[in-house]
Structures are given as C-alpha cells and as structure tokens.
Amino acid sequence: MTAIVDTASVDSRERAGRTEILSRIAEFAAPLALVVLWVVFFIATPHFLTLDNISDLLVASTILTVLALGQQFAITAGGIDLSVGANLPWAAAILGYLTAQGYPLAIGITGAILGGLAVGVVNGVLVGRLGMTDFVVTLGMLSVLNGITLLLTHGNTQAVSSQFLQRLALDGIGPVRWFWLLALLAALAVAVIIFRTRIGTHLLATGGRLEAARDTGIPVNRIRLFAYAMSGLLCGIAGVMLVARNGGADPSLQTTYLLSSIAAVVLGGSSLSGGKASVLGTVCGAVLFTSLINGFTILGISQYYQPVAVGAVLLLAAGIARFRK
C-alpha cells in the first residue's frame, strides 16, 4: 500500500515538474517564437534579414503594436475588446472626414483620437457600469461602428494629403524611425501604468479575481471603464498612424488587426482570463505577426495563406495559455 502511495506521489511530482517547465517556456513564448521565425526566414531567403527589410518590418508592426497594447488593458481587466477591428478605421475616417472638410490637421488628429476614446468609454460604461457582457457589447459595437464608418465615408477611401503625416511615417532620427519611437513611448506608458501605478495594481486585481477585488474596496466598475477607455484611446492613436502610413482612411473592417491584437497579447504572456500582463511579450507578439506576413510576401507565398497562418498562431497562443499560470 505504501509503495502504491509513493508511486502516485512521485507521478504527481513529475507531472507538476513538467507543468512547471511548460509554464516557464510559455512565459517567453513570443520572444522565442520570434527568434525561431526570423531564423527560418533567414535560411529561406537572404532578403529577409536585411537592414532595410527589418526597418520596414518594424515600422509595419507599430500599428498592430499600439492596438495590441490597448487590447492589453481590456484583457488584463478580465475582458476583451472586439470593437478594435472597427474602431481603427472609424478613427481614421474621422481624420479623413475632418481634413476633407477643410479643418486643420491638428483638429483632424485630435478628433480621431477623441473618437477612438469615445468608443472605449461607451464600451466601458456598458461593461463596467451596466454590467453587460463584454463579448456582446464589443461585438455589437464592432457592427455599429462599421456601419457608421461606411456611412461617413460612403464606403470610399478618403485621401489625406499631409507632409507632416508623410514625414511621421517615413522619416526619423538617423536609422530610428518616428513610428518606432511612437510605439516605444506607448509601450513604456502602458508598462508604467500597469506595473508602477495604483490603478495598474487595481487593474491586475480586478482581472485576477473580480469579486475578491470588489470585496477589498477596489472600484472595479471604474477600473473596467478605464481599461476600455485606454483601449479606445490607443485605437485612436493607431488610426492616425494608419492614415499616415497609407496616405488615406480606408473604411474597411480590419478583422485581421482584431485577431492579431488578441493573439499578440495572449502569445505575449497575458492570460485571457485576466490578472496577468506582459508589455514586452505583447510587443514581441505584434512583431511576430508582422514578420510572418512580411516573410510570406518576400517568399512569394499567396496572400490567401496569410489568414491561415494567423489563425494557426492564434490557436498556438490558446494552447500555450493552457500551461501558463
């Protein structure tokens, strides 16, 4: 009987040890996967790991990075923001519309950022204040915003001619591009808020155990409102960056950005159930997805395979999350 108990105890410890190892690996899934992907593409083509391509790749990843950082707030709070796929073109459309009406560029940029923030605040009020389900609220907002954006633009891309936005997208200080600095500043700001402020501590606590956080006196409704507001704010900033990069506002629903923003956060080390965040991991996750598309393009792989690859990585992220504490 004792031997049976000892064997069971050993098996239990071995399983716990394997789970611990997998958990530690999962913590660094995004950086490790990024390194592996770059090595694979470097072997596959000499045109991938060049200074010009890496520079362009990092610039292309900045919009997704800013979006994913916003998604980080919602997921850390134990929710999810599906509206980012429509909030991004909505913010871009506001900028395009205002500049087309003859308003100064500063007004257009401010309107775009405030428009994204307003969507986040509405989401936060419905989820945090009224207690509605975040999935339903943000999915409904996705549809509403998509329709409003199409009505505002009549379904047409609105060109935005601005030397300032062109320089923002193309120039920088030496080899350092302005878009990199914007994404870096956004990442640093998010890291400070989540890990160095009281509201960040409350955010992690709310996502970890909502009822326990409420019992300790944390204003969980306001914290959730704040999380969605930050997601909307960063969507607005990403919308301005999208216009700067594309030279116009495309009203099309951005489902690829939506899926990739969620996957980047989860693959980066955050928990879909909330209460855990990794800003560095989220940034690496965003660069990973952009590298995937970039490598496919260089290798001449059909664009039809790109959503398949994104979906596969999303499933991989879900599988990794199973082993993450």
Look up residue 247 and give its DSSP letter. Answer: T
| Domain residue spans of the chain | 42-324
* Amino acid, res. 235: C
pTM of the model: 0.90
* 179 close to 287: Cβ distance less than 8 angstroms: no
The pLDDT value given to residue 70: 97
pLDDT recorded at residue 325: 53
Per-residue pLDDT of the chain (325 residues; tens, 9 = 90+): 555 555 556 555 655 555 555 556 666 778 888 898 899 999 999 999 898 899 899 999 999 999 999 999 999 999 999 999 999 999 999 999 999 999 999 999 999 999 999 999 999 999 988 989 999 999 999 999 999 999 999 889 888 988 999 999 988 887 789 999 999 999 999 999 999 999 999 999 999 998 899 989 999 999 999 999 999 999 999 999 999 999 999 999 888 899 889 989 988 888 888 888 999 999 999 999 899 989 988 998 887 787 787 778 777 777 766 665 5
User: Letter for the amino acid at 180?
Assistant: W
Q: How far is CA 3 from the centre of its chain?
A: 51
CATH 1.10.15 fits 42-324, yes or no: no
Q: What is the reported pLDDT for 270? A: 84
What number of residues does the chain have? Answer: 325
Q: What's at 169, amino acid-wise? A: A
Tell which phi-psi region holds residue 219, choosing left (phi > 0), alpha (psi between -120 and 50) or beta: beta
